[in-house]
Amino acid sequence: MRIFVILPILRNEVFEDITRRELEVAKRKDTEIYVVSLDEGPASIESAYDEELAAPWILERVKEAEDKGFDAIIIDCMGDPALHAAREIVNIPVIGPCQASLSIASMICDRFSVITVLDRLLPLFRRKIREYGFEDKLSSVRSVEVPVLELEKKREEVKARLLSEAKKALEVDGAEAIILGCTGMVGMAKELQENLKVPVIDPAVASIKMAEILVDMGISQSKRGYPKPPEKLRIL
Amino acid sequence: MRIFVILPILRNEVFEDITRRELEVAKRKDTEIYVVSLDEGPASIESAYDEELAAPWILERVKEAEDKGFDAIIIDCMGDPALHAAREIVNIPVIGPCQASLSIASMICDRFSVITVLDRLLPLFRRKIREYGFEDKLSSVRSVEVPVLELEKKREEVKARLLSEAKKALEVDGAEAIILGCTGMVGMAKELQENLKVPVIDPAVASIKMAEILVDMGISQSKRGYPKPPEKLRIL
Amino acid sequence: MRIFVILPILRNEVFEDITRRELEVAKRKDTEIYVVSLDEGPASIESAYDEELAAPWILERVKEAEDKGFDAIIIDCMGDPALHAAREIVNIPVIGPCQASLSIASMICDRFSVITVLDRLLPLFRRKIREYGFEDKLSSVRSVEVPVLELEKKREEVKARLLSEAKKALEVDGAEAIILGCTGMVGMAKELQENLKVPVIDPAVASIKMAEILVDMGISQSKRGYPKPPEKLRIL
Amino acid sequence: MRIFVILPILRNEVFEDITRRELEVAKRKDTEIYVVSLDEGPASIESAYDEELAAPWILERVKEAEDKGFDAIIIDCMGDPALHAAREIVNIPVIGPCQASLSIASMICDRFSVITVLDRLLPLFRRKIREYGFEDKLSSVRSVEVPVLELEKKREEVKARLLSEAKKALEVDGAEAIILGCTGMVGMAKELQENLKVPVIDPAVASIKMAEILVDMGISQSKRGYPKPPEKLRIL
Amino acid sequence: MRIFVILPILRNEVFEDITRRELEVAKRKDTEIYVVSLDEGPASIESAYDEELAAPWILERVKEAEDKGFDAIIIDCMGDPALHAAREIVNIPVIGPCQASLSIASMICDRFSVITVLDRLLPLFRRKIREYGFEDKLSSVRSVEVPVLELEKKREEVKARLLSEAKKALEVDGAEAIILGCTGMVGMAKELQENLKVPVIDPAVASIKMAEILVDMGISQSKRGYPKPPEKLRIL
Amino acid sequence: MRIFVILPILRNEVFEDITRRELEVAKRKDTEIYVVSLDEGPASIESAYDEELAAPWILERVKEAEDKGFDAIIIDCMGDPALHAAREIVNIPVIGPCQASLSIASMICDRFSVITVLDRLLPLFRRKIREYGFEDKLSSVRSVEVPVLELEKKREEVKARLLSEAKKALEVDGAEAIILGCTGMVGMAKELQENLKVPVIDPAVASIKMAEILVDMGISQSKRGYPKPPEKLRIL
């Protein structure tokens, strides 16, 4: 199976490399992944504004993936930018890491917390999680207050803050599991899980896994929920 | 007060004219409105895909409005495209017709139906209304099955179908009021209201009115809910 | 446009004056407001009991307003006493400050707190806000613990407590905007907003604004939701 | 135990007699009931307007009940008029038939329908049931379209319509049990239950039973939820 | 009336005696109660695992009760083990203390807390209360951290912890009433209520009272919600 | 990876064979499945009663699976019997087909219908889906009215009824996808999906897939949500 992973940010070797490396570990042997980023759009996604600026270029990549015969698409950002639109324009499954993580978290506990990069993203997560219908299971959204583009550089600091915020999520907010709130945190789940003794979900990994099983099952987004857009003039 | 009205579709004289004409009637005497459309983007908005393709160009217009000293902005499409992002990048109030209509409808009844252009938009409306937190008041979403760009040409047919769908919304779905589900239906509410004897909300008019009172009250979107995006490289 | 404002408490010159003065500032130039209070009923409204004792006399005023040709009615108390009944007996729009504030708050943020006069009113607000369907957006209800009739006398104390409770609402409860929880706090929003840097909604002002736009739009409460009461013997 | 039953309508011998007769059957041997109606107020309760006009006089009766040493109070109307206010002003339990019926219905099924007197009451019931937090269990509200004051005269017609509406509630709306939607239907549950083979709840009977057990258990409305109104001038 | 009380744990004289003694006080004079425990199953119920191991033996007792002509059945454990199954196999009412307590609590306040034996039961209570549809009224679940089988021995300690946890429920969590979260706490409500000045519900007592009134009213679980299981081979 | 599949019914070669055969097709190459049924319990599961009678024997199998070093457990019945208890007693992931199907369905649409074997199971599904927190996405539950043990014999009839009920779910109830409501329908999804042109989820397949990815991700049920039961005397 061939999965097309769109990093919805401006070309960024550090992120591409780490994403490729971690997803190579996470994927099944018979899965091939292909990681791309954008030529236009924002350097990182930390606002609804960034999501909107990335969207048209994500959607071009989405079409490209189907044209090239890929089996599934991951929009590899926790904001799930352009997810609904992408599902309209192709028939192969399109996965957003946020929704995939919520979906899997529902299998292992009743209440979870999301720990993301910046406080400024808290209202976005609350809106998104409400739209997806998982708000009753959300204990809290917290952040490490480190921008996306500094995640790699400040890796140890990020891990320390993840641990301390996750502990507050468990002790104060009543969470039973943790969802990492940025796909840039890929690879940080395992150690955190060992420290916390509760499940920690890596959204990039959750996406690959969800893509693999939707392909296995031969199902994709319902065209009753995501009908093909009508033909018309569209200028980009 | 000066209100900037963004028709988030490719330049379209018919729509601009009718929007201007109807909003001139709807607005207060001391309100000036300025209607613009887009140079890039889709010819009409009838999918999440169209919304995403319009978004970056809407956001350019949004910045222009604040730069030019307007007091409020309306994104004049019932899908409220780019609404959250727009609220992040400016301080003046940004209004979406869908949210404004739901908000006003909540003042006059407990259950309302939305009647939009195409069946394919029903899932989008349900997602949007759920995200806004008004799903418990939604009796139904129905459509007249006429594309946006044919609304003017088929005006009589549209009015007839609006009437018959609205009657079903009242009798079958238990609605107490009707929200027109496309800003292209501007100017059709009054006659429908007279026929139905229940309130009918015109979303374009609702937006102008909501813009006027937010400006009057000196309030705008909370920057705690819509913080300014951080500076970074963004290529469009 | 002529708006009839019912202060649903025993004649009280201080409150009538301050209400008139502040609403004169808030209203549009072409709006006339007419403020009345009651000859029977409670001296102030601080319980469901007070609301019920005021209701019959409010309803007499409501009929008087329609008979005299007013365009809209405001029941100027944050408990929205007799609101549903009033909407049944007249065709012109009847506005309650609580519902109007919730409705407008929904346009500018996802989560708000109400700060009212007395702790004893907290359960009433929670019931009311749940009945109106806005409970998911309510961060908290807090109070300044000053009775309605002392609001004017203790104006500086009230403002100080509003500020400190509002800060807790933002920092502890996660509110993004503040709604003043008593129409007797009229005129205190602006300064608070400047201090807090988040929107603060004055419910009396919200009511005038909502009345103005419902009249502009030619809509009123749906008679499917608020049908006329049948004729029968009623002794007061 | 002595229970004070307030028929919140103008003195009406027919209703007093039938209520007394049926409650005598429903009550325990060691329970005494005392049925009173009002000297002021509406002839029947079929609107929020009627509820508000009855409220002050209900509240006088409520105080009288506590003064005379009764153990519990029932406001014997399915609209639960003045219920919250009544609970504030006394310490003995005050029961509303609507809330008591919903509470008991929750013990025997997951989904129930209410069948009331008039279509015009449907929005009132939906508001009330939502306020009480039972909306997820409500299959439907239906009516027999017979005014309260004709219930006795048209008894056979009412029973026939109850049966046909209840059948629709079961077959079309998915109800598992039926709640009679007017205390004037007292005495009609048993036959209906035999015909339908599902539980039918008589709200007047439900109220007596709930009053008896609250007294037995030594519990009453929480004064944290229903604090005593502060002393002040109140003119009726 | 004869009520069959199943203590769903291994024969335990201490618990049987205390249950009998307290229920003798709680029941009406004309009610006979018959308390039994199990020959197989767990020594106490403190997990979903215990609930499942007790279930088949509870269900045997349930059939026995109907066969012997009892009027109602109480499964006397706050986890309501085997409740739905029991309602399917008999026609007489089957009551679970958790559901009965929630139902009665809804009559006296809007928000309550449950205080149970062990922290490990908190997620079970949250799942159960959500399944019953009362999650919006739940302020919190807290525990005294004393195992069921030590409740009697540590009676004074349990009462002290109940008091301190209940105070936190009122002050920190906003509860208006308290539900004891284990039927082994039978007899502890009264003193706690006197100390707290808010209603305290004893679930064993709530169950007896609810059983009495369902029998009085001649209603039982709806067979539309709890249909009889089909005949088939079942080996235990 | 080795997955232990518990058919929670009395030994039944037909079901074991078909389950093995279809799961062999559904599983990954590197997954081994081991299908067992029960020596005690019910011949099939078509009621809460059946679920409770199966539970203790399921739980024995669950322990056996962990003892034998399996990586995950599936309780292969759409009622998810004993799921919560099973998750308490082992550390390896335990999957219920109902929850797994709901979780995956949430990735591909906003509204789905479940089509099960018997009408009598409809209330059970509604309770279960509510408990799991997916009730807002449930369009309807429908049935083919064929008992579990006749599914194989009446295979063509079942497929015809599945098709006609599914069409009603799409057209009348507004579903966007279909979930087969019995693991005995294993193998029927593909043809139905081809006929309907919407995704059809096979719950047995969904369970295998979910088990595979939980194992891949190294996560299991949170022990904060499903703590180990305390040691105590338990007699079966």
Nearest to C49 among D10, D39, D88 (CB): D88
- How many whole angstroms separate alpha carbon C17 and alpha carbon E17? 69
Q: Pick D107's closest partner by Cβ from E137, E177, E214.
A: E214
Asked whether at least 3 C-beta pairs link A and B within 8 Å, the reply is yes
In this prediction, the residues of chain B whose per-residue pLDDT falls under 70 are none
Tens-digit pLDDT profile for residues F128-140: 999 999 999 999 9
- Give the tokens for residue E64: 């026995």
Note whether C233 contacts D: Cβ–Cβ < 8 A.
Answer: yes
Please tell me the predicted confidence (pLDDT) of residue B16.
94
Query: Which D residues 40-79 touch E at CB under 8 Å?
Result: none
| Helix locations, chain B, DSSP H | 13-26, 48-67, 83-89, 97-105, 122-132, 155-171, 189-196, 203-217
**Separation of alpha carbons C198 and C183, rounded Å:** 20
Which among A101, A111, E82, A106 has a CA at the least distance from the CA of F98? A106
Nearest chain E Cα to A176, which residue?
E123
* pLDDT value at C132 more than 90: yes
Identity of residue E161? R
Query: What local confidence, expressed as pLDDT, does residue A236 receive?
Result: 86
Contact E103 D100 (CB under 8 A): no
H or E segment and range at residue E161: helix E155-171
Domains of chain D, first to last: 2-96+206-217 (3.40.50.1860), 98-203 (3.40.50.12500)
Instruction: Using a CB–CB cutoff of 8 Å, tell me whether C39 touches chain E.
Output: no
Length of chain C, in residues: 236
Q: For position A195, what pLDDT does the model report?
A: 98
Chains D and A touch (3+ CB pairs under 8 A): no
pLDDT of residue E68: 98
Dig out the tokens for A62 from the structure. 């989405």
Question: Is any Cβ of chain B less than 8 angstroms from the Cβ of C134?
Answer: yes
E104 in reach of chain D (CB within 8 A): yes
Residue D133 forms contact with B (CB below 8 Å): no
Q: pLDDT per position in chain A (236 positions), as tens?
A: 999 999 999 999 999 999 999 999 999 999 999 999 999 999 999 999 999 999 999 999 999 999 999 999 999 999 999 999 999 999 999 999 999 999 999 999 999 999 999 999 999 999 999 999 999 999 999 999 999 999 999 999 999 999 999 999 999 999 999 999 999 999 999 999 999 999 999 999 999 999 999 999 999 999 999 999 999 999 98
Two tokens, residue F145? 């009215």
**SS3 readout for chain C:** CEEEEEEEEECCHHHHHHHHHHHHHHCCCCCEEEEEEECCEECCCCCHHHHHHHHHHHHHHHHHHHHCCCCEEEECCCCCCCHHHHHHHCCCCEECHHHHHHHHHHHHCCCEEEEECCHHHHHHHHHHHHHHCCHHHEEEEEECCCCHHHCCCCHHHHHHHHHHHHHHHHHCCCCCEEEECCHHHCCCHHHHHHHHCCCEECHHHHHHHHHHHHHHHCCCCCCCCCCCCCCCCEEC
E26, pLDDT greater than 90: yes
User: Average pLDDT for residues F12-32, to the nearest whole number?
Assistant: 95
CA distances from F83 to C73, D66, F86, F87 (A): 57, 51, 5, 6
Section F65-69 average pLDDT = 98
Q: Which residue of F has its CA nearest to B127?
A: F110
Residue of C nearest to D60 (CA): C53
Q: Does F227 touch chain A (CB under 8 A)?
A: no
Q: Calculate how close chain D gets to B118, using CA atoms only, in Å.
A: 28
Distances (CA, A) of D200 to B4, D176, E160: 59, 10, 44
* Residues β-bridged to residue A74: A5, A95
Task: Give the tokens for residue C22.
Answer: 């502040």
Q: How far apart are CA D16 and CA D6, in angstroms?
A: 10
Nearest chain D CA: its distance from B108 CA (Å)? 13
Tell me if D133 and E106 make a contact (CB, 8 A cut-off): yes
The Cα of C58 is separated from the nearest Cα of chain D by a number of Å equal to 10
Interface chains of chain A (3 or more CB pairs under 8 Å): B, C, E, F
Determine whether the interchain pair F201/A213 forms a contact, defined as Cβ–Cβ distance below 8 Å.
no
CB-based contact E82 F52, cutoff 8 Å: yes
Strands F41-42 and E234-235: antiparallel
SS3 per-residue string spanning chain F: CEEEEEEEEECCHHHHHHHHHHHHHHCCCCCEEEEEEECCEECCCCCHHHHHHHHHHHHHHHHHHHHCCCCEEEECCCCCCCHHHHHHHCCCCEECHHHHHHHHHHHHCCCEEEEECCHHHHHHHHHHHHHHCCHHHEEEEEECCCCHHHCCCCHHHHHHHHHHHHHHHHHCCCCCEEEECCHHHCCCHHHHHHHHCCCEECHHHHHHHHHHHHHHHCCCCCCCCCCCCCCCCEEC
Chains touching D (3+ CB pairs < 8 Å): B, C, E, F
Q: Per-residue pLDDT averaged across F63-73, rounded?
A: 98
pLDDT given at position F236: 86
Tell me whether residues E222 and D193 touch, CB distance under 8 A.
Answer: no
Report whether pLDDT(E236) > 90: no
The answer to whether B183 and B78 are in contact (CB under 8 A) is yes
For chain F, which chains pass the contact test of at least 3 CB pairs under 8 Å?
Answer: A, B, D, E
Q: Chain E residue closest to C136 (CA)?
A: E136
Cβ–Cβ pairs < 8 A, chains A and E: 7
Please state the rounded mean pLDDT for residues C168-187: 97
Mean pLDDT of F104-112: 98
CB–CB of B124 and A53 under 8 A? Answer: no
Q: How far is A34 from chain B (nearest CA, A)?
A: 23
Confidence of residue D84 (pLDDT cuts 50, 70, 90): very high
The 8-class DSSP code of residue B107 comes to: T
Residue A173 contacts E where some CB pair is shorter than 8 Å: no
For range E211-217, the mean pLDDT: 98
Whether residue D224 and residue E109 make contact (CB cut-off 8 A), yes or no, is yes
Nearest to C197 among B95, B218, B223 (CB): B223
- Residues in D closer than 8 angstroms to F135, CB to CB, are 136
Judge whether residue C236 has pLDDT over 90: no
Q: Which two tokens stand for residue D213?
A: 């057990």
Of B114, B98, B108, which Cα lies nearest the Cα of B198? B108
ipTM beyond 0.95? Answer: yes
